[in-house]
C-alpha cells in the first residue's frame, strides 16, 4: 500500500504544476487619458462701474458723476460727467492752453482722474472702439469760439482679470466745432477687449486750447459725445 500512496502524491504534484499560466515579457502601460468638457454662455447681467484702480471690484463711489450708464453686452458704463476750466482774462494776442480747474464745481473727477470704463461681456472677443466728438464751444450769446480744441492725453489702461485684454488708449485732439469727424480714444482689436476696461486720464493734460482773439467776455460751454462701436465684421 505504501508505494501506491507515493505515486498518488506525485501525480497530484504534477497536475498542480501543469495548471499554472506562464506569461513571457508582458508589455507595461503607464499612461492614460481623461476627457474634460465645459460650456459657457455670455453674461446676461447688467455691469455697473468698477473701482478705477481695481477693476475687479464694483464701486458706487462715482455715482452722480457718471455721464454714461450701467449696461450689458458691450456698454460704456462710465465716463466723467463734466470738467471745469475756471475763469480767465481775455488774451487777444496769444493762443492759450487752459488746464482743468480741480476746484471748479463742474470738475467731477474720480480718484483725481478723468475716468472712462467700457464693459464687454458678449463672450465673442470681437473687439470694439471708443470715439469722441466735440460740439461747438458756444458762448451764452450763441456765438462759437473758432478753432477751439480739447486735448485728451493717452489714458492709463487697466482691465478686470489677471491677464491684459489688449485694449489700447490713444491721445487725441478733439475739435470743438461740431463738424470735424470723431477721434479715437480707446480700442480693442479682434481677439481682445473682454471684461471691464478702464482708462484713467490725467486732468493736468486735459487742456482746453483757445486761439487768440476768438472768445468774448462771457461763459462758454461744449459737449463731448462718446460713441462705443463694434469693429467691422469683414
The CA-atom distances, in angstroms, between 233 and each of 75, 128, 167, 230 are: 18, 11, 18, 8
Q: Where are the beta strands (DSSP E) in 26-73?
A: 50-51, 54-58
The whole-angstrom separation of Cα 144 and Cα 136 is: 6
DSSP string of 128-163? EEEEEEE---EETTSPBPTT-EEEEPPPEEEESSSS
For residue 9, the model assigns a pLDDT of: 43
For residue 5, the model assigns a pLDDT of: 46
The whole-angstrom separation of Cα 202 and Cα 66 is: 17
The whole-angstrom separation of Cα 191 and Cα 47 is: 21
For residue 176, the model assigns a pLDDT of: 95
List, in order, residues 6 or more apart from 71 with CB less than 8 Å away.
Answer: 46, 47, 77, 119
List, in order, residues 6 or more apart from 210 with CB less than 8 Å away.
Answer: 91, 95, 96, 97, 98, 145, 147, 148
For residue 185, the model assigns a pLDDT of: 97
* Bridge partners for 47 per DSSP: 71
Q: Where are the beta strands (DSSP E) in the chain?
A: 50-51, 54-58, 74-79, 96-98, 114-120, 128-134, 138-139, 149-152, 156-159, 168-169, 172-175, 183-188, 195-201, 208-210, 220-221, 224-230
CB atoms within 10 A of CB 25: 4
For residue 13, the model assigns a pLDDT of: 47
pLDDT in tens, the chain (234 residues): 445 444 444 444 444 444 555 556 899 999 999 999 999 998 899 999 999 999 999 999 999 999 999 999 999 999 999 999 999 999 999 999 999 999 999 999 999 999 999 999 999 999 999 999 999 999 999 999 999 999 999 999 999 999 999 999 999 999 998 877 789 999 999 999 999 999 999 999 999 999 999 999 999 999 999 999 999 876
Q: How many residues does the chain have?
A: 234
Which cell numbers in the block locate residue 110?
A: 474720480
CA angle, residues 51, 203, 131, in degrees to nearest 5? 75
For residue 179, the model assigns a pLDDT of: 76
For residue 233, the model assigns a pLDDT of: 74
Amino acid at each position: 500500500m505504501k508505494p501506491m500512496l507515493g505515486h498518488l502524491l506525485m501525480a497530484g504534484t504534477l497536475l498542480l504544476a501543469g495548471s499554472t499560466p506562464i506569461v513571457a515579457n508582458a508589455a507595461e502601460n503607464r499612461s492614460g487619458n481623461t476627457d474634460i468638457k465645459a460650456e459657457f454662455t455670455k453674461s446676461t447681467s447688467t455691469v455697473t462701474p468698477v473701482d478705477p484702480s481695481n477693476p475687479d471690484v464694483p464701486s458706487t463711489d462715482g455715482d452722480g458723476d457718471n455721464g454714461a450708464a450701467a449696461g450689458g453686452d458691450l456698454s460704456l458704463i462710465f465716463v466723467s460727467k463734466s470738467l471745469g476750466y475756471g475763469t480767465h482774462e481775455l488774451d487777444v494776442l496769444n493762443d492759450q492752453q487752459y488746464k482743468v480747474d480741480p476746484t471748479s464745481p463742474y470738475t467731477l473727477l474720480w480718484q483725481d482722474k478723468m475716468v472712462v470704463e467700457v464693459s464687454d461681456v458678449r463672450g465673442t472677443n470681437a473687439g470694439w472702439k471708443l470715439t469722441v466728438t466735440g460740439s461747438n464751444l458756444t458762448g451764452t450769446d450763441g456765438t462759437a469760439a473758432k478753432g477751439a480744441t480739447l486735448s485728451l492725453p493717452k489714458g492709463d489702461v487697466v482691465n478686470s482679470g489677471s491677464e491684459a485684454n489688449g485694449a489700447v488708449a490713444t491721445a487725441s485732439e478733439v475739435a470743438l466745432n461740431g463738424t470735424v469727424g470723431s477721434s479715437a480714444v480707446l480700442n480693442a482689436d479682434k481677439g481682445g477687449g473682454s471684461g471691464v476696461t478702464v482708462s484713467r486720464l490725467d486732468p493736468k493734460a486735459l487742456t482746453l486750447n483757445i486761439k487768440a482773439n476768438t472768445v468774448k467776455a462771457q461763459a462758454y460751454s461744449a459737449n463731448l459725445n462718446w460713441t462705443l462701436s463694434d469693429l467691422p465684421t469683414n
